[in-house]
Structure 1
Amino acid sequence: MSRNRDIAESESLEIVGDTKQKTSNKDVEQKGAKQEPECKTDLADQTYYLPRRYIIQVFLACASVGMTGLLDETMIAVALPLIASDLNTGSQISAVATAYFITSTACQMLYGRISDIWSRKSVLLSLLFILFIGNLASSLAQTFTQILVFRAIVGIGGGGIGTVGQIIVSDVVSLRQRGKYQGILGSSVALANGVGPIIGGALAGTSSDGWRWIFRLELPLAVLSAAAVIFFMPLKPVEGSILNKLAKVDWIGAALALLGTTTLVLGITWGGSEYPWSSGHVIGTLVAGGVSSILFILWEWKGAALPLMPLHIYKNRVVIGGIATHTLNGFLTVVQVFYLPTFYQTVYGYSAVKSGAMILPIVLVQTAISTLSGIIITLTGRYRELILSGWAIWTIGLGLITTFNANTSLAKQIGYSLIVGLGVGQTFQPSLVAIQGAVERREMAVITSVRMFVRNLGGTIGLAIAGTVVNVMFRSHLKSLNLPADVYEAIIDNPVVARESVDAATLGQIIEGYRRGFRVVFIIWVAVSGLALILAALLMVNYSLHRDDDAELKEKAKKLLEEKKAKKKGHDDEQKGANGGL
């Protein structure tokens, strides 16, 4: 109990660093571009370099919260065909995943600034509450419209959990040491990506509506995560009235970001699937999204007092490279998580559990390499070589996956996935360290939030494109088989039922049609990964990860904590004396 009181009391320590940080550029390839803060509104500095024993508990809490959010996202992936069958949604089921990513992406840029204004802990608890309510409602959904709306609500909460967790890491650990700790945190992300589909498949397969248990499982996880945040995150509070904090939020920018992201993604999702690309629905939403995005940029440039996305950060080439490659990273990662299990179910006839388990080779290697990459960055202070190596290996692995056919052996399926995991593990966390090292400390939360925004945007667009490609090609192929209308509609609604409703020869043709659609998606993966490799080679140079005031902040934190403990001990001794030594 005494230790918990020490932690709670240490929250009030004032460890405020100079917001205009200088960086040492000794032994690096390129000097960082000088950033001129353009923000007109003061923010409380939440930098709080904790002693190692406290860092561990903060990281465990961050890992718990991150796992809760990612499990929510990945468990549902393998259950989509079963939800489609139970609710009779047909090929529209991909909209359930898209709804989550639309809201999580559209709200993403808010999370960084709001956590600057309200404090990390209060924002994180609010997001967990939204996640809880959305999952509770999702578990009770009876129609396609209901599950769509409720998953969109979950996206608002789930989308910000990982972002705020990464921001907290930036608050409590110095930039150079951050690589090691974020590598460990990245391992928990990879683990959730791996076990999520397995757990989701196991729960969904228990009965026709077993998928509801996926959402029910999230309820206690959200409660436990909230408890971890409350008791094990000794973070600094932010002073100020509610009205003052509300006045600082860039509401116009938030509205434009929501409108632009939502309409753009809807247009891409509808095009070629729900409506022809030339239809008014698609053109109208794409135009609205484009106009809203332009207005958002203009507002952030000239109108916002405290921008959600300060444009001056894009003067730095590493920021540009990091944002571009994170967009492509999101495209690839999200589509892999959602569509590889579906590919294994439809083409190879694997169960939901086995198809989810087939993601494990990627995840296990990614987990180990992510941790190792973080340690290497801490030891060497370099990230460029890791990023380039990662994208090169990832591209090779995806190229091998394009060779998958109905006769590909299990050994090759696993082996090629291991290569993909080796590449993925070297790209995500090193890129985060790179862009954080390229901006001022006051912009740390913003750049982390923008990074997650573009990653989610890439994932949302990836899901839309992959779904469109597979659906269009699969429908076209099925029509050429001249199947009875009722069989055709049943297979469109749930391709897995083809194994029970047609003869072996027809089944082979149906599977081949699905495989062709997926092969196009796989080829798109290779092109996207290759583009990311080129961009990283051109833009991701090594910047110094040393901050001149790191040692000062650590020492100040240590001394203030010791003084606080000594003061508390003296107070306890006085109380003990007053009570007669009892």
Structure 2
Amino acid sequence: MTTATAENPAQPRATALDEPVRSRREILTALSGLLLAMFVAILSSTIVANALPTIVADLRGTQTGYTWVVTATLLTTTATTPIWGKLSDLFSKKLLVQIAIIIFIVGSVGAGLAGSMGTLIGWRAVQGIGAGGLQALAQVVIAALIPPRERGRYSGYLGSVLAAATVSGPLAGGLLVSTPALGWRWCFFVGVPVGLVALAVLQRTLHVPTTPREVHLDYAGAALISGGVSVLLVWVSLAGEQFAWSSPISLTLAALGALTLAAAVLVERRAVEPVVPLWLFRERTVVLSVAASLVVGMVMFGGSVFLGQYFQIARSYDATTAGLLTLPLIGGLLVASTGSGQLISRFGRWKPYLLAGAAMITAGLALMSTVDHTTPVPLVGAFLVVLGLGLGMTMQNLVLAVQNTVDVGDVGAASSLVAFLRSLGGTVGVTVLSVVLSHRVSALLDGGTTGTGLSDLAALPPAQAEAVRAAYGDAVGTVFGISAVASLLTLAAVLLIKEVPLRTTVARKA
């Protein structure tokens, strides 16, 4: 087990003594600003999905720029998540949340005012730094305010916000772009007033205890981890499009990323305050939760990407309607996330919901693997409900299991580790599955056009356009089928997790 004195003698741990008793109203008031900020931060990653063709055309960008508008945010969000989490174990959590919001607002304003693709990509990277902080710190603040036994109901709200923002982003982006009085720049400006309101609310309502401890910043570890992850994300994001997977530049990037992360492990073993404490990987619950989160991230992020393609390309719906057709997924997730959280807080059991959720993810993906371009839309909606219910019972409860394992002094590093690998799994998984989808479409078209998208379909002869739509509709089932097989990893990991009773104090009792 993880004892602070054995692993990190210089780090005193909080005790359960004199923990303030907060009413549910006080907690919800304190969390309201945080949830607002988190919603717009996550929304910023997906809201450009349907706006990108307009943005690229207006700024006279290229296909490379098109890719990097999305990749820049994902890269900085993922790479900085563990750093934000570790900082929250050392410094004021409230101050860090406020700094993350300010960074996000500055990045949003800069992106909205951008006059070129290069400038837009740079400000999107800044946005991602702030978004990474908010995603990591939201989990940490909840853990610092609420005992694990009571945390389920509030984690449910957090999971609902995370999923709603992820899936509704393309819908919001499509609406803004299609509204003449607004346009694509409001995809970035829309989060600014909400961020300012969240900042004001947090200043008045959020009061998070900070455990005094000696501070040793792990600069080398932070640089190596963020650098190694960034290189690998660049590799998986661009390989297959900008260069071949087996090309010298591809192999160089892969080797450089792997070597950098290997160096990070060596540094983390010797650091007094490592960004990612390696002893976390000796905790069975942490390792299994991290493994399960990889696939959950792939399913969550992939859902918005591939469902958008399916409904718009294969079924000929516009961007707004395509977004609305994903509501069954959001609805299932909201119901399961809040419902399971309430039941966990009432009865103190969490593994049954994890098991049910993992099983429903597998079942939902297996059902979606049967979808083709002729599947009735109501039936697709029913499949999405099953998938949403599974995600809702799994996503936040994996974090809860980890937080219940570690003490409050390490909850930032532990929580951000799960969030980091969930984001990494989503980014890598979606990239690889996109390659699979492209090859499958090509095979169904007998080696024909593979890069045809929405903007190209109108230029094709009707018969060829219909063939492309049918190919996309039939190929998406393959992507979900592969995801269903991968989800067996989540199911196996959850089966092996040992259920530990949820403690009723924020910190472990001395």
Structure 1 counterpart of 2:405, one-letter code: A
Structure 1, 41-50 or 212-221: larger mean CA deviation: 41-50
Deviates more, 1:428-437 or 1:35-44: 35-44
In the alignment, is residue 369 of structure 1 matched against residue 336 of structure 2? yes
1:11-160 pair list within 5 angstroms: 33-37=1-5, 38-42=7-11, 45=14, 49-52=20-23, 53-86=25-58, 87-90=60-63, 93-160=66-133
- The answer as to 2:498 corresponding to 1:541 is yes
The 1:284–1:190 alpha-carbon spacing in structure 2 relative to 1, beyond 3 Å, is same
Pairing 1:339–2:306 present? yes
Residue in structure 2 matching 1:300, options 255, 259, 268 = 268
Kept in 2, the 8 Å contact 1:46–1:236? The answer is no
Structure 1: distance between partners of 2:307 and 2:20: 41
1:356 offset after TM fit, Å?
A: 1.2
Alignment of 1:256-275 (within 5 A): 256-275=224-243
Q: CA deviation at 1:507?
A: 0.6
Match of 2:360 among 390, 393, 401: 393
Of 173, 177, 200 in structure 2, the residue corresponding to residue 227 of structure 1 is: 200
Equivalent in 233, 249, 256 of residue 288 of structure 1: 256
In structure 2, the CA distance between the partners of 1:394 and 1:237, relative to structure 1 (3 Å rule), is closer
Q: Which moved more, 1:44-53 or 1:357-366?
A: 44-53
Residue in 1 that maps onto 2:419: 452
Tell me: CA distance 1:427–1:552, structure 2 relative to 1, closer, same or farther (3 Å).
closer
- 1: distance between equivalents of 2:97 and 2:83? 13
- TM superposition shift of 1:422: 1.2
**Are 1:191 and 2:164 an aligned pair?**
yes
Report the CA distance shift for 1:147/1:549 in structure 2 as closer, same or farther (over 3 A).
closer
Pair 1:513–1:209, CA change in 2 (3 A): farther
**Does the 8 Å CA contact 1:333/1:459 hold for their aligned counterparts?**
yes
Partner of 1:298, secondary structure, is helix
Distance in structure 2 (CA, Å) of the matches to 1:337 and 1:425:
15
Structure 2 Cα separation of the partners of residues 465 and 396 of structure 1: 22
User: What is the identity, as a one-letter code, of the residue corresponding to 2:234?
Assistant: L
Letter in 2 for 1:317: R
CA distance in 2, matches of 1:517, 1:508: 14
Deviations 1:505-557 (A, max 9, x none): 1111222343355333222211221221122212x12112125787999xxxx
Q: Choose from 519, 522, 530 the match for 2:480.
A: 522
Structure 1 residue 190 displacement after superposition: 3.0
- For 1:530 and 1:551, how far apart are their aligned partners in 2? 33
In the alignment, the residues of structure 2 paired with residue 130 and residue 395 of structure 1 have an alpha-carbon distance, to the nearest angstrom, of: 38
Structure 1's unaligned 5+ residue stretches are: 1-32, 482-487, 554-582
Greater shift in the superposed pair: 43-52 or 164-173: 43-52
Corresponding residue for residue 320 of structure 1: 287
Residues 163, 300 of structure 2: 8 Å contact kept: no
Alpha-carbon distance change, 237 to 49 in structure 1, aligned in 2, over 3 angstroms:
same
- 2-structure distance, mates of 1:230, 1:169: 16
CA contact (8 A) 1:96 1:151 kept: yes
Go from structure 1 to structure 2 and tell me whether the alpha carbon gap of 1:330 and 1:281 turns closer, same or farther (over 3 Å shift).
same
1:314 shift after superposition: 1.7
Structure 2 letter corresponding to 1:55:
I
Q: Does 336-345 or 186-195 show the bigger shift? A: 186-195
1:46–1:496 distance in 2 versus 1, CA, 3 Å: farther
TM-score for the superposition, normalised by structure 1: 0.81
Establish whether residue 172 from structure 1 lines up as the match of residue 139 from structure 2: no
Aligned counterpart, 1:502: 460
Stretch of structure 1 that moved more, 120-129 or 230-239: 230-239
CA displacement at 1:367 relative to structure 2: 0.6
Q: Say if 1:121 and 1:235, in contact at 8 Å, map to a contact too.
A: yes
Contact 1:328 1:529 in 2 (8 A): yes
- Aligned-residue identity in percent: 26
Find the residue that maps to 1:211 and give its secondary structure. Answer: coil
1:384 aligns with 2:351: yes
The farther-off stretch of 364-373 and 374-383 is 374-383
Alignment of 1:250 onto 2:218: yes
Residue 208 of structure 1, CA deviation: 11
The equivalent position to 2:395 in structure 1, one of 420, 423, 428, is: 428
**Matches of 1:262 and 1:551, distance apart in 2:** 35
Coordinate RMSD, CA, aligned: 2.7
SS of 2:11's partner is coil
One-letter amino acid of the structure 2 residue matched with residue 544 of structure 1 = P
Structure 2 CA distance for partners of 1:271 and 1:188, relative to 1, 3 Å: closer
Deviation string, structure 1 residues 87-126 (Cα, Å, up to 9, x no partner): 4433763332222111111111111221222211111111
User: Residue 273 and residue 470 in structure 1: after superposition, are their counterparts in 2 closer, same or farther (change >3 A)?
Assistant: farther
Tell me how far apart the structure 2 counterparts of residues 84 and 500 of structure 1 sit (CA, whole Å): 18
Q: With structure 2 as the length reference, what TM-score do the two structures score?
A: 0.92
Shift in Å, 1:207: 5.0
Q: Aligned pairs, how many?
A: 505
Which residue number in structure 2 is paired with residue 511 of structure 1?
469
SS at structure 2 position matched to 1:107: helix
1-side partners of 2:463 and 2:246: how far apart? 37
Change (3 A) 1:458 1:549: closer
Separation in structure 2 between the aligned mates of residue 529 and residue 418 of structure 1, nearest angstrom: 17
Q: Distance in 2 between matches of 1:525 and 1:355?
A: 21
Offset of residue 61 of structure 1: 2.2
Structure 2 contact 89–409 (Cα < 8 Å) conserved: no
The verdict on how the C-alpha distance between 1:304 and 1:432 changes in structure 2, with shifts beyond 3 A counting, is: same
* Structure label with greater radius of gyration: 1
One-letter code aligned to 2:260:
S
In the alignment, which of 351, 369, 373 is matched to residue 406 of structure 1? 373
Go from structure 1 to structure 2 and tell me whether the alpha carbon gap of 1:522 and 1:201 turns closer, same or farther (over 3 Å shift).
same
Aligned to 2:187: 214
